[in-house]
Amino acid sequence: MKKAYLYRLYPREEQAALLQQQLDVAREVYNACLLERREAYRMAGVTLNYYAQANQLKAIRRDRADIAAVNFSMLQAICRRAQRAYTAHKLVRAFDVLCHEDLAIKNMVRNHALARSISDAAWGQFIAILVGKAEGAGRQTVAVHPRDTSQTCVCGELVPKDLSERWHHCPRCGLSLPRDQVSAMLIKALGLEMLANKSGLGSSPQAPTWPAGACVA
């Protein structure tokens, strides 16, 4: 079993000033990342990837001693966070309802090594940002039970695949698409069904539980 400990810090005055300085730099870099993304898209229709921004960090650190004083990995993490926030912002603007897998359940049912992988942590952070932004904008998010979402066709047929198989081909209805795309279609269908059931519009026998707290990650 792994435990986490939380300590409250009581920094001295000069330590507090140093921490504040680092927070100020973090905020400035984060805002600059977001601004550059918005401008690149507005002016050239370009969506910047993470590396386009992270690769500028070294040059910026040469010019700015205060930014050079901040841990490099932290600056990279800020670039990633800005990328996720920007993507979440675009999704929330474009769609009224956003369906995603319930990661709390997913982590419980998957094996521990996988559940703790970095990609899961990144995805978890993205979903948390997305859900927060959606709430602020009055959009709905639905957390869908992740059971068999990669092994089922939209027609309901079970189509088993191991992780290396990236293509979905259904022997029953003939649907042939990349597996992630089919999973997304299925998650959307399940999410909309949950919404319909919740509002009393549907009468499907499958009624996944509404995960308490899942929408306020």
Residue listed under structure tokens 């191991």: 162
Using CB under 5 A as the binding rule, whether residue 172 contacts Zn ion is answered as yes
| Residue closer to Zn ion, measured from CB, 114 or 173 | 173
* Strands 176-178, 140-144: pairing kind: unpaired
Stretch of 127-135, 147-155, 160-168, 207-215 contacting Zn ion, by CB under 5 A:
147-155
177 sits near Zn ion (criterion: CB under 5 A): no
By C-beta, is 17 or 173 nearer to Zn ion?
Answer: 173
Contact window for Zn ion (CB under 5 A) among 86-94, 119-127, 146-154, 189-197: 146-154
Q: Which is nearer to Zn ion, 58 or 172 (CB)?
A: 172
Smallest separation, CB 172 to Zn ion (Å): 5
* Shortest Å distance, C-beta 188 to Zn ion: 15
Q: Which of 173, 196, 207, 216: binder of Zn ion (CB under 5 A)?
A: 173
Task: Rule CB under 5 A: choose which of 155, 158, 207, 216 binds Zn ion.
Answer: 155
d(CA 97, CA 103): 18
Closest CB to Zn ion among residues 138, 160: 160
Q: Are 143 and 214 in contact (CB under 8 A)?
A: yes
Of the candidate spans 58-66, 71-79, 128-136, 164-172, the one that interacts with Zn ion by CB under 5 A turns out to be 164-172
Residue 143: C-alpha distances to residues 6, 25, 89, 127, 173 (Å): 28, 35, 18, 10, 27
Q: Does 157 bind Zn ion (CB under 5 A)?
A: yes
Rounded Cα distance, 178 and 64, in Å = 45
Q: Does 158 bind Zn ion (CB under 5 A)?
A: no
Q: Least distance from C-beta 177 to Zn ion, angstroms? A: 10
Candidates 44-52, 70-78, 86-94, 149-157 — which segment interacts with Zn ion by CB under 5 A? 149-157
Asked if 62 and 33 touch (Cβ cutoff 8 Å), the reply is no
Give the whole-angstrom CA distance, residue 99 versus residue 75.
30
CB 169, CB 155: distance < 8 Å:
no
The nearer residue to Zn ion, 171 or 205, going by C-beta atoms, is: 171
Give the whole-angstrom CA distance, residue 23 versus residue 17.
10
Most distant CA pair in the chain, distance: 69
Question: Distances from the Cα of 170 to the Cαs of 112, 123, 161, 188, 191, in angstroms?
Answer: 30, 28, 11, 18, 22
Q: Which is nearer to Zn ion, 83 or 152 (CB)?
A: 152
Interacting residues toward Zn ion by CB under 5 A: 153, 155, 157, 170, 172-173, 175
